[in-house]
Amino acid sequence: MKLVRPLVATAAIAVAAGTITPALHGQDAALRYRWTKGAPLRYRTVQESNIAMTGIPGAGDMNLTTTVTEVHLITPTDVAADGTATLNVKFESMKLDLVTPMGNMSVDSAATAAPAEPALVDAQKMLQAIVGESVTMVMAPTGAVKSVEGMAKLSAKVKASMPAGSPLMQSFDTMLSDEAFKGTMGQSFANLPDRVVKPGETWTTTLSVPNPIGAMTTTNTFTSKGIERVEGKELTRVAVAQKISVAPGGMIGPMSVSVKEGTGQGDMLLDHRLGQLVRSTAQLTLPMTMSMAAPDGTSMNIAGLTKINVTLALVPR
């Protein structure tokens, strides 16, 4: 289990995409974000990651499911004439749920008591150190994230809350960095075309995100599906198809990791009048292998298949 748990934390990859009702064909819409200074938006992200592993010595096959729920309050502190927004992103809450062969476990940043599972005590300290903190993000009207500042300070706070030698420490420098958060938020909000698009039109973006198992490069192909009526509102639906490659040489503790090309698909719903992302869903599949030298000198090889479902939703005020 000690070898497996770090895989759960590093398998979480942020993606962006949406939901569905029949399209109102023949209508076009300009897709761009329109932020209003001082008017915050709250987003909830729920990411479920399932890792199916085979070839584990003494355990055979194993399935682990991790669900991370987090809420961000995004407040524009400045909006330039061209629509570029300076955003304060506050971490409001975080929750981690684990389903393992040994039982189910949960840790919540809002909990006052320590988790019953000792292995989750450090995880709770990490979540509680993050919640309440903020970073500054500059975003173009297309959703492209130009810069992020503040993750180094947040990482230092998290490290200070961890006991020396905690296994969670190994990936902090990669995961809690400005570049990692920039890539994650850029993927979450996607890069929209700064133009009117017709139903059926496509565009492509490429994003790279640092990750402990290797830098991940995602090529997103977006297709406008036109305007739909959803819960009484006219929204633009965009379909997303993804291809993901991971740089070789990744490590998880003593284990080397090799990730084959991953694929993903999803949808996103945008309020084209208000310039807001309303809701998105995505499904991602990543095959990988993990290997290390066993104590007797033999090679231990584990095959894994990660499936990730992500839902991002605007929380009503």
pLDDT tens for each residue of 239-251: 999 999 988 877 7
Asked if 219 and 264 touch (Cβ cutoff 8 Å), the reply is no
Encoded amino acid at 58, one letter: G
Q: How far apart are CA 27 and CA 232, in angstroms?
A: 17
Of the two residues 111 and 77, the one the predictor is more confident about is 77
pLDDT (mean) for 305-315? 94
How confident is the model at residue 73, as a pLDDT?
98
- HSE (CB half, 13 Å, CA atoms) of 188? 25
The mean pLDDT of the chain is: 83
Query: Going by C-beta distance under 8 Å and a sequence separation of 6 or more, which residues neighbour residue 309?
Result: 47, 48, 281, 282, 283, 284
Overall domain count for the chain: 1
How confident is the model at residue 14, as a pLDDT?
30
| pTM across the whole model | 0.83
Asked if 43 and 313 touch (Cβ cutoff 8 Å), the reply is yes
- Flag whether pLDDT at 78 surpasses 60: yes
- Flag whether pLDDT at 69 surpasses 70: yes
For residue 90, what are the domain limits? Answer: 5-315
Pick from 297, 306, 291, 308: nearest CA to 62: 306
How confident is the model at residue 2, as a pLDDT?
33
Q: How far apart are CA 255 and CA 252, in angstroms?
A: 5
CATH (domain of 31): 2.30.230
Asked if 47 and 67 touch (Cβ cutoff 8 Å), the reply is yes
